[in-house]
Amino acid sequence: MYNFCIKTPVADDLKYFLSMNKRLFGEECLSDLDSGFVFDEIINDDKGILLTVYLGNRMAGYAYVVEVYSMKRGHYAEVIDFYTSEYYRKHGADVYLLRAIEQWSSQTACHELVFSADDDIKKSLLEKLRYIKDDNSNVYWKKV
């Protein structure tokens, strides 16, 4: 069993995100300069949180989650970005990170957590954790 931990990143953690995003997005990722601007905006966002999952000093994944208000759903949290390294995913980093998101969401008084699953890996995770799929889209949700 791996002993993952959740951290809220600070400016010095940008290097880990640049490395992970280059592996994840390849040529399609933002430049280092643009990534730095986006990273700075995200870590200073007062309506959202960037969470990272670590094993020791190695980042295993991250998620960016924001609070949203709508007339249809009320106050809810939406997962904007979610990624875990394949190696650590096999050992539960994705579940650990998603549970931390659920906990954060409930602490912010959000009633639901909404997650757009654009690939089979995320869909499988959400179905395993009993998220409900919207019939007309790839959106999953769960009361928190």
pLDDT in tens, 30-71: 888 888 899 999 999 999 999 999 999 889 999 999 999 999
* Number of domains into which the chain is organized: 1
CATH of the domain at 60: 3.40.630.30
Range of the domain at 66: 5-143
DSSP label of 47:
T
pTM: 0.90
Q: What's the average model confidence in pLDDT over 6-30?
A: 85
Judged against a pLDDT cut of 90, whether residue 75 lies above it is answered with yes
- The candidate with the shortest Cα–Cα distance to 2, out of 128, 96, 107, 137, is 96
**Contact call for residues 49 and 65 (beta carbons, < 8 A):** yes
